[in-house]
Amino acid sequence: MPKMKAAIFVEPGRIVLDEKPIPDVGPLDALIRITTTTICGTDIHILKGEYPVARGLTIGHEPVGIIEKLGSAVRGYREGQRVIAGAITPSGHSEACLCGCHSQDGAGTKHGWKPMGGWRFGNTIDGAQAEYLLVPDAMTNLAPVPDGLTDEQVLMCPDILSTGFSGAESGGIRIGDIVAVFAQGPIGLCATAGARLMGASTIIAVESLPERMAIARKMGADYVVDFSKVDPVEEIRRLTDGRGVDVAIEALGKQSTFEAALRVLRPGGTLSSLGVYSADLKIPLDAFLAGLGDHTIRTTLCPGGKERMRRLMATVASGRVDTSPLVTHRFTLDRIEEAYDLFGHQRDGVLKVAITP
Amino acid sequence: MPKMKAAIFVEPGRIVLDEKPIPDVGPLDALIRITTTTICGTDIHILKGEYPVARGLTIGHEPVGIIEKLGSAVRGYREGQRVIAGAITPSGHSEACLCGCHSQDGAGTKHGWKPMGGWRFGNTIDGAQAEYLLVPDAMTNLAPVPDGLTDEQVLMCPDILSTGFSGAESGGIRIGDIVAVFAQGPIGLCATAGARLMGASTIIAVESLPERMAIARKMGADYVVDFSKVDPVEEIRRLTDGRGVDVAIEALGKQSTFEAALRVLRPGGTLSSLGVYSADLKIPLDAFLAGLGDHTIRTTLCPGGKERMRRLMATVASGRVDTSPLVTHRFTLDRIEEAYDLFGHQRDGVLKVAITP
Amino acid sequence: MPKMKAAIFVEPGRIVLDEKPIPDVGPLDALIRITTTTICGTDIHILKGEYPVARGLTIGHEPVGIIEKLGSAVRGYREGQRVIAGAITPSGHSEACLCGCHSQDGAGTKHGWKPMGGWRFGNTIDGAQAEYLLVPDAMTNLAPVPDGLTDEQVLMCPDILSTGFSGAESGGIRIGDIVAVFAQGPIGLCATAGARLMGASTIIAVESLPERMAIARKMGADYVVDFSKVDPVEEIRRLTDGRGVDVAIEALGKQSTFEAALRVLRPGGTLSSLGVYSADLKIPLDAFLAGLGDHTIRTTLCPGGKERMRRLMATVASGRVDTSPLVTHRFTLDRIEEAYDLFGHQRDGVLKVAITP
Amino acid sequence: MPKMKAAIFVEPGRIVLDEKPIPDVGPLDALIRITTTTICGTDIHILKGEYPVARGLTIGHEPVGIIEKLGSAVRGYREGQRVIAGAITPSGHSEACLCGCHSQDGAGTKHGWKPMGGWRFGNTIDGAQAEYLLVPDAMTNLAPVPDGLTDEQVLMCPDILSTGFSGAESGGIRIGDIVAVFAQGPIGLCATAGARLMGASTIIAVESLPERMAIARKMGADYVVDFSKVDPVEEIRRLTDGRGVDVAIEALGKQSTFEAALRVLRPGGTLSSLGVYSADLKIPLDAFLAGLGDHTIRTTLCPGGKERMRRLMATVASGRVDTSPLVTHRFTLDRIEEAYDLFGHQRDGVLKVAITP
């Protein structure tokens, strides 16, 4: 049984590179030889034991690679093709999928809905930080990479770009909107880019790290509020002359940013939340206008599936968004433990690392 | 200066019937001779001092009446016409109105948005519990009552029916949805009727008062869960065989109902909130799926304006909804203090009272 | 090789009952033993040679049956289960499906879109008027029938009810809308029921056959306009007092009904078209307001997939819609040629026939 | 009675500059001293007698100016303020307005809907090609120009930019869409800009005039198809590799462009029509997929009102769209007949002319 290298969750605090068998390919699967992958903030939660996964699981959900082998029932692809798959790999056939809610895919469950059920890589099945990756429901999930795009150019599509854009999309941004984006990590930066792409006329990013503030401007922010120096709620009120924003995007997952996002909304506005929270949230009565403000609060889990990936790559190919500033560091798979160390401690201005087996 | 009787907020704990001058009619106004009005739960909050209004203000926001006098610039109506106006009386010309968000009408403010700015009657201007009512922006707000409908048949349109239906509408109910409605007071009952009208195939109402449980069934509930006997979250899970509901409507304004509504939602579902809250809300991490559940939480303030009123009255006229079971008691305006006492203490199975000057 | 009886298209003018092998079951398929099926207007087009299909094809796309055999990769069902499948059987994994446009499923095509590609039964693969039916992509398409519903109660779900409701849904009907439905054949009747379910306050049906006019009222029509006696455009204008309707549903597929539907729309209204046209359409300049009327014209092909079927059956189970008046005649499969004769000539007040192998 | 100069429709073929009284200001009006205005293609239709207006009417619907006098009931503005008003000036209070359909404003009519009723300037009331303009329902329509924007920078907002963007908006363009825009006159160019602003990843413009082709690229077109050299339907199919476009925008008002737009749509796509047609339209059966293609055809009349104008000017101010290349010629009001001659004959590469009293 041939072996491959893979980054494996051993126990809280330990993700190590080890050997595993190369997986067998079922009729609906595809085996991908990974050429580039990356580490996500969620992987750090897993590393720290804050998000529980099975011991022995291969981590990672952001694959770029080459089709090594197709399942017997898979049609429409050829071995050797360069592809990506989303972080979320829906089946396409559950009730959730048929409602367009692919991220909550409950394939195989009684009612066809499962919380976060579309997220499988590095969560419920082996993930992408390895030499090979088994992609389930390949016909729903494999998206060929357009010629002319490098691995790094599409590396953000499986998760960061899809999630970031969804923050803008779920906000329902319209031409001429005023938008605030709280936090400018990789996802927040992509949310800023998404707000720009959807026609916001004023984008206010909130961040304190100078490198991120600089990239935020490149991604489309008109103003960048340094929350370490000014109160962001007051500053956004000042910038909007007291009006508030049409859409506020939360991209961190903390009470402070959630609450600030609510406080800067005009009545009738939308709070689009991308953050992964780790504690109960409080909705302050005044910020919520006692429930009479015609507010919408919406959470979105990264959209997946091959059509989503195709659209994102087309957008990258058009030059309308450029995620290359996000890849700040590069490692071989052999050195992934170092990469975890750097990324986990957010050293050296790291945004995203590219890992190449 | 001719005088009229009006129910006036004197101080917390005291709303009294007193005399006031009949108001002058500005160019865009209309003066209505009230023929029927009612008391709302919000009026009780005002009475108790929980919602602050100016001393001396006439209370009430649910008018049925006859046009007594039209402002000089008002076109399209005639004196003597029988009309209603919504509890919310938007100007029609603010930025909020032009965005379709009439309830947050900020006419006259810098940016055209004002929290709850569309609610004026019995809040920022004199209200409907009087012999006469001055309706601002009459051309936006006066809706003629179709022949053949009695005052009582349209008495719920200005607030209760508009709010209740909006709970279903903001939930985006589709044919075949499973819907839960928490609390079956007047607004919850109308939300149940709205869910039925929009095609929900299963409606689960939550209530404990037997009279309300009985009316809930009339309004369209398939199941009525008595929360005093069973845990409503568990019971709704049982009734939906573990799936959860597509839309949950909160119609009370308490942490317990808000939280239960969130807990019974399937992933990707919508919590449509109608309640007026009086304390900070908590969103439990698990119920919120850590922000990854593709949830939507939406609050709605009663939609107003003459077109909304026309539609609601047309729906009543069609026989597709019948709000007559909601009017449980009748008083003359002279006895309105008694009516407040009955309604404020929720005695005698009261749902809504009809007040006739 | 075991044989079965099937209604086969031989040549224009001839659909005959003949023998065919019972099909083999691929890994993603399911074999259904048909217990009840029916004939659709589209089948008559096929019979007449107006819609071309391959000679030798089994006709029919409205199956109710029992799972006889499941493909090796199919999970979540058991043999012996009673199920239906929609007339449209999408794969779930094409780009079209992933955009929520399952009826235009282009699985296996270059870009994942194919005009009407979701319609396979009795069009591109063997259909349901047979003893056995092979259902492709079974996990996307098989919907278990709730206990307590008879075959005939769910027989309209695969096509007629799904299509009819979609006419109301694509029209975006809101509570209080005025809706006109042109033609009250089986689909138009279900569109009327759908308009009722979505909260229209006034439904005007247009028809001339007395039996259909009577059923239209049962389905929810407030008015039924007999176009053989009055001009329907003038009559609808009269009934709406000159206003026009918010939504007009076309359920026949002729220039006259399409044009009348456009002419009765208020500015800003929606024409929801269900008809299958057989000639170019003309949009009269005046009816179209020269392109300045903020009109929407929308066509909809029957939505399919198991979740759609589940919702429709839940709606039937709730008692909120009753399609039993549509089944006017019953035949055994052996006598299907007679059934075609009756249905094709619209004799004896036929609406739909039930065929039982 | 003081007089002013105005461009007046005398009879088909003749619009002349003449004198008229400066209008009186009613309570809801505002009088604007025009500083810049322009001529629209619609004005040429009026000139030619193709669109009938009253003899003696002042033409023009694209005003930039200074508030000279406010009506007695107008609040929230001050005399001397620089403002624009949309080509469409809705009342804000009709049923149409309260449905968000301001362009079909039927203020004063029985049901509150009137085809194109929001278009008043230079249509049913005196227009903007004059020294002074009376703006009705001033509080709904006057939008202050942000400091720092010149008259010419906002001159396209009242009509061209609002209409062009609405073509993209009514198309429901999403991030990653492929969009075709037929004709690159002023409105088509703004539609191209709108498609770009909403996140289309591929924009294909169709045009044959070299200057317009060049500006189309500046506005965001990725490809410009010269229909005088290639068949645009074939070329767009080639460019999309056979797939077709998600959204096709028609910006000319001819059968040829309407039909081509329909033919390049993928199934399930949207045809967003902006053109003003002058003859019946034909929908070819095959292009329409016999009514089974899940197509949407939507027409949009220029959105107006002060909030729309505010958003458009904010977008201009953000630098995300630049309409300055559209103003190709400049005239004083005294020479407006020359301007009509140039613009009417489309000489000298004219796109739009700026007229300054």
Q: How far apart are the first and last CA of chain B?
A: 20
Eight-class DSSP state of D160 = I
pLDDT digits (tens, 9 = 90+) for B252-282: 999 999 999 999 999 999 999 999 999 999 9
Query: In chain A, what residues touch B266 (CB-CB under 8 Å)?
Result: 104, 111, 113
Q: Is the pLDDT of residue D61 over 90?
A: yes
Residues of C in contact with D299 (CB under 8 A): 288-289, 291-295
Would you state the pLDDT for residue B355? 98
DSSP state of D159: I
Dihedral, B152, B154, B156, B158 alpha carbons, nearest 10:
-140
Percent of chain B with pLDDT over 90: 100
Q: Are strands C296-299 and C265-273 parallel, antiparallel or unpaired?
A: parallel
Burial class (CB in 10 A: 0-12, 13-18, 19+), C52: exposed
| Residue C193 counted as domain residue | yes
Tell me whether residue A294 is in a domain: yes
What local confidence, expressed as pLDDT, does residue B68 receive? 98
Average pLDDT rounded to a whole number, residues D10-18: 97
Residue C351 has pLDDT above 80, yes or no: yes
Continuous segment of H or E residues that includes residue C74: none
**Does residue D97 fall inside a structural domain?**
no
Q: What is the pLDDT of residues D153-201, one digit of tens each?
A: 999 999 999 999 999 999 999 999 999 999 999 999 999 999 999 999 9
| Residue in A closest to D170 by C-alpha | A174
B31 within some domain: yes
User: pLDDT value at position A125?
Assistant: 98
Query: Is A306 among the domain residues?
Result: no
| Mean pLDDT for chain A overall | 97
Q: Confirm whether C316 is domain-assigned.
A: no
Q: How is A103-163 classified by DSSP, letter by letter?
A: GGB-TTSSSSB-TTTTB-BTTTB--SSBSEEEESSHHHH-EEPPTT--HHHHTTIIIIIHH
Q: Which helix (H) or strand (E) covers residue C327, if one does?
A: strand C327-332
Same-domain status, B33 and B171: no
Tell me, yes or no, whether C338 and C217 share the same domain: no
Q: How many structural domains is chain A composed of?
A: 2
C277 neighbourhood in chain D, CB within 8 Å: 285, 288, 290-291
- Cβ proximity of D94 and D69 under 8 Å: no
Pairing, β C132-135 against β C30-36: antiparallel
Looking from the CA of D339 toward its CB, the CA atoms found within 13 Å total 29
Distance from the D44 Cα atom to the nearest Cα atom in chain C, whole angstroms: 16
Q: What count of residues does chain A have? A: 357
Residue C327 lies in a domain: yes
Q: Quick one: which H or E segment has residue D106? A: none
**Interface predicted TM-score (ipTM) over 0.90:** yes
State how far the Cα of A162 lies from the Cα of A302, in Å rounded to an integer: 6
pTM, to two decimals: 0.98
Q: Which long-range contacts (CB under 8 A, 24 or more apart) does D220-225 make?
A: D220/D192, D220/D193, D220/D195, D220/D196, D221/D181, D221/D184, D221/D192, D222/A318, D224/D184
CB-based contact C95 A307, cutoff 8 Å: yes
Q: CA B306 to CA B30: how far, in whole Å?
A: 13
Residues C237 and C146 grouped into a single domain? no
pLDDT for the residue numbered C124: 98
Is residue D24 within 8 Å of D74, Cβ to Cβ? no
D297: nearest CB among C274, C285, C297: C297
Residue B210 phi/psi, 5° resolution? -55, -40
In this complex, the residue of D99, D276, D292 whose CB is nearest that of residue C276 is D292
Nearest CA in chain A to C109: A76
Residue D234 makes CB contacts below 8 A (sequence gap 6+) with none
Residues A278 and A172 placed together within one structural domain of the fold: yes
Contact assessment for residue D261 and residue D183, using Cβ atoms and an 8 Å cutoff = no
Q: A95: which chain C residues are within 8 Å (Cβ-Cβ)?
A: 306-307, 310
- For residue A227, the model assigns a pLDDT of 98
Full domain range(s) for residue A75: 3-86+121-155+323-356
| C24: confidence class by pLDDT, cuts 50, 70, 90 | very high
Contact D38, D44 (CB under 8 A): no
Is residue D7 located within the same domain as residue D144?
yes
At residue A167, the 3 state secondary structure works out as: helix
Q: Are residues B133 and B182 in the same domain?
A: no
Same domain, C199 and C71: no
Cβ atoms of residues C146 and C314 within 8 Å: yes
In a domain, D216, yes or no: yes
**Statement to judge: residues B185 and B285 lie in one domain:** yes
Residue located via tokens 């009087």: B130
Residue range A343-353, pLDDT digits in tens = 999 999 999 99
Residue A235 is part of a domain; what is its CATH number? 3.40.50.720
Q: With 80 as the cut, is the pLDDT of residue D1 above it? A: no
| Amino acid B354: pLDDT | 98
pLDDT at A303: 98
Same domain, residue pair A146 and A186: no
Is C95 close to A310, i.e. CB distance below 8 A?
A: yes
Q: Which residue of D has its CA nearest to C242?
A: D111
The ranges of chain A with pLDDT < 70 are: none
Through-space distance between the first and last CA atoms of chain D, rounded to whole angstroms: 20
Is B225 in the same domain as B170? yes
CB B70 within 8 A of CB B77: yes
> In the sheet where C82-84 sits, what is the strand order?
C132-135, C30-36, C64-70, C82-84, C143-144
Phi, then psi, of D261 in degrees rounded to 5 = -60, -40
Distance (Å, whole) CA C303 – CA D112: 35
pLDDT digits (tens, 9 = 90+) for A203-261: 999 999 999 999 999 999 999 999 999 999 999 999 999 999 999 999 999 999 999 99
Q: Which residues pair with B223 in a beta bridge?
A: B204
| Tokens found for residue C267 | 């500015």
In single-letter form, the type of residue at position B68 comes to E
Q: pLDDT grade, residue B332 (50/70/90)?
A: very high
Residue whose C-alpha is closest to residue C161's, from C285, C303, C16 = C303
Picking from A165, A175, A312, the nearest residue to D198 by CB comes out as A175
Same domain, C169 and C82: no
B174 touches chain C (CB under 8 A): yes
Q: How far is CA D100 from the centre of its chain?
A: 18
Give B13: exposed, middle or buried? Use CB within 10 Å, 0-12, 13-18, 19+.
exposed
User: How confident is the model over D72-99, as pLDDT tens digits?
Assistant: 999 999 999 999 999 999 999 999 999 9
| CB nearest C108 (choices: A76, A100, A112) | A76
Say yes or no for a CB contact (<8 Å) between B294 and A291.
no
Model confidence pLDDT, tens digit, residues D249-276:
999 999 999 999 999 999 999 999 999 9
Check if B245 contacts C (Cβ < 8 Å): no
Residues C253 and C143 placed together within one structural domain of the fold: no
Contact residues on chain D for C171, CB-CB shorter than 8 A: none
Q: What percent of chain D has pLDDT over 90?
A: 100
The pLDDT assigned to D265 comes to: 98
- Give me the CATH number covering residue D132: 3.90.180.10
Task: Compute the average pLDDT of residues C8-31.
Answer: 97
Could you give the C-alpha distances from B354 to A83, B128, B331, in angstroms and in order?
A: 68, 12, 6
Q: Is the pLDDT of residue B109 over 80?
A: yes
The alpha-carbon gap from A160 to the nearest alpha carbon of chain D, in Å, equals 15
Sorting pLDDT into bands at 50, 70 and 90, what band is B108? Answer: very high
